[in-house]
């Protein structure tokens, strides 16, 4: 079992909200996928009421699950685990992180990139799973320019159509109206510098050799997940199929921000089942830093309380 809140730049305590810098803790984690160099770069943390991320959980069960995981009852911390891969002479960032679009504790990607010896101009491409602000928030500088000046930005076409080309109805999100308006505006603002040169992709496409996108719609119309692969090694990135292993993997509870909850659930089951069956290393964008682990198939199913799987580090 994963014990969240013990590692790295996103401790799961309530104090995490009030302590922006986590001074002294590394916000990067290096490993390899075959010949591909991979580095998790934390952009910090966001979070909110646990109920938002476990919309259909019975209250007493939710509180018990949080208590058993040593997590606070009133706040769930979500990490922002972007992944830098270096392959074929290119540096590709998977997810851009939140910046300050969803609270004061995002925006750390730049210092963590510097800590591994890179400047924003060293990034050749940025691949976004979906256009929620916590995935695109760092793309724009304060004065409206491109924060990663050389990078080609890849965005799922269905998300671009829904969030950027129209004014989406976000009334399905279990948050106050004021939050929804800011959320929608932050998406458009963050992507504004790329109106003329964004690369729109269909989930399923290969972005570069070694990085394939996987259809995972439901959370948003176009959300994709990713498979990084080299030789016999693979890494599955699960994007926002799950927010936190304790409520969306070990328990089957549905994230409130999923736009189409049935389609999202089907995507979650299909991809988590593959991860378990193929014993794939997994990186969860919002999981406790650095977000790496493996999915387990449940060994027993409790009637009326079936976990979809289990996350183990
Ligand atoms: Zn997210």
Half-sphere exposure of 298 (CA within 13 A, CB side): 14
Give residue 259 CA to ligand 1 midpoint distance, Å.
13
Give residue 195 CA to ligand 1 midpoint distance, Å.
22
Give residue 61 CA to ligand 1 midpoint distance, Å.
24
Determine if the peptide bond prior to 290 is cis (ω within 30°): yes
Alpha-carbon span 122 to 127, nearest angstrom? 15
Q: How confident is the model at residue 298 (pLDDT cuts 50, 70, 90)?
A: low
pLDDT at 174: 85
Give residue 303 CA to ligand 1 midpoint distance, Å.
31
Q: How confident is the model at residue 309 (pLDDT cuts 50, 70, 90)?
A: low
Check pLDDT > 90 for residue 112. Answer: yes
Q: How confident is the model at residue 300 (pLDDT cuts 50, 70, 90)?
A: very low
Whether pTM exceeds 0.85:
yes
Task: Specify whether domain 15-312 bears CATH 3.60.15.10.
Answer: yes
Ligand 1 (single-atom ion) residues, CB below 5 Å: 134, 240
Check pLDDT > 70 for residue 22. Answer: no
Give residue 216 CA to ligand 1 midpoint distance, Å.
14
- Residue range 22-28: average pLDDT? 78
Q: State pLDDT tens for residues 230-241.
A: 999 999 999 999
pLDDT at 301: 45
Give residue 134 CA to ligand 1 midpoint distance, Å.
5
Give residue 140 CA to ligand 1 midpoint distance, Å.
17
- Residue range 130-149: average pLDDT? 97
pLDDT at 2: 37
Give residue 79 CA to ligand 1 midpoint distance, Å.
9
Give residue 6 CA to ligand 1 midpoint distance, Å.
21
Structure tokens that stand for 104 in this block = 């004061």
Give residue 2 CA to ligand 1 midpoint distance, Å.
20
Alpha-carbon span 266 to 117, nearest angstrom? 40
Give residue 285 CA to ligand 1 midpoint distance, Å.
7
Q: pLDDT over 90 for what percent of the chain? A: 85
Give residue 135 CA to ligand 1 midpoint distance, Å.
6
Q: How confident is the model at residue 11 (pLDDT cuts 50, 70, 90)?
A: very low
Give residue 130 CA to ligand 1 midpoint distance, Å.
8
pLDDT at 313: 58
Structure tokens that stand for 43 in this block = 């952009």
Q: How confident is the model at residue 25 (pLDDT cuts 50, 70, 90)?
A: confident
Give residue 286 CA to ligand 1 midpoint distance, Å.
7
Q: How confident is the model at residue 24 (pLDDT cuts 50, 70, 90)?
A: low
How far separated are the first and last CA of the chain, in Å rounded?
A: 7
pLDDT at 37: 98
Check pLDDT > 70 for residue 23. Answer: no
Three-class DSSP labels, the chain = CCCCCCCCCCCCCCHHHHCCCCCCCCCEEEEEECCEEEEEEEEEEEEECHHHHCCCCCHHHHHHHHHHCCCCCCCEEEEEEEEEEEECCEEEEECCCCCCCCCCCECCHHHHHHHCCCCHHHCCEEECCCCCHHHHCCCECCCCCECCCCCEEEEEHHHHHHHHCCCCCCCCCCCCHHHHHHHHHHHHHHHHHHCCCCEEECCCCEEECCEEEEECCCCCCCCEEEEEEECCEEEEECCCCCCCHHHHCCCCCCCCCCCCHHHHHHHHHHHHHHHHHCCCEEECCCCCCCCEEEEECCCCCECCECCCCEEEC
Q: State pLDDT tens for residues 242-276.
A: 999 999 999 999 999 999 999 999 999 999 999 99
């Amino acid at each position: 079992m994963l014990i969240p809140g013990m590692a790295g730049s996103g401790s799961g305590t309530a104090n995490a909200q009030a302590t922006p810098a986590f001074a002294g803790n590394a916000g990067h984690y290096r490993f390899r996928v075959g010949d591909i160099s991979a580095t998790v770069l934390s952009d910090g943390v966001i979070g909110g009421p646990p109920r938002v991320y476990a919309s259909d959980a019975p209250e007493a069960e939710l509180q018990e699950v949080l208590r058993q995981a040593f997590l606070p009852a009133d706040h769930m911390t979500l990490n922002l685990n972007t992944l830098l891969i270096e392959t074929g002479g290119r540096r590709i960032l998977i997810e851009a992180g939140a910046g300050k679009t969803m609270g004061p504790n995002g925006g750390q990607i730049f210092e963590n990139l510097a800590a591994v010896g890179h400047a924003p101009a060293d990034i050749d491409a940025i691949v976004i799973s979906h256009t929620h602000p916590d995935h695109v928030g760092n793309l724009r500088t304060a004065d409206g320019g491109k924060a990663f000046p050389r990078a080609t930005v890849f965005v799922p076409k269905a998300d671009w159509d829904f969030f950027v080309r129209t004014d989406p109805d976000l009334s399905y999100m279990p948050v106050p109206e004021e939050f929804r308006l800011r959320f929608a505006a932050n998406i458009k603002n963050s992507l504004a510098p790329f109106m003329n040169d964004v690369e729109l992709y269909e989930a399923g496409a290969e972005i570069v050799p070694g990085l394939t996108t996987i259809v995972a719609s439901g959370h948003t119309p176009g959300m994709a997940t990713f498979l990084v692969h080299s030789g016999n090694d693979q890494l599955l990135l699960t994007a926002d199929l799950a927010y936190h292993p304790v409520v969306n993997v070990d328990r089957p509870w549905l994230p409130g921000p999923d736009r189409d909850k049935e389609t999202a659930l089907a995507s979650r089951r299909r991809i988590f089942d593959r991860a378990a069956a193929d014993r794939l290393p997994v990186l969860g964008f919002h999981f406790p830093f650095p977000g790496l682990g493996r999915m387990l198939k449940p060994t027993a199913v409790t009637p009326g309380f079936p976990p979809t799987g289990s996350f183990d580090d």
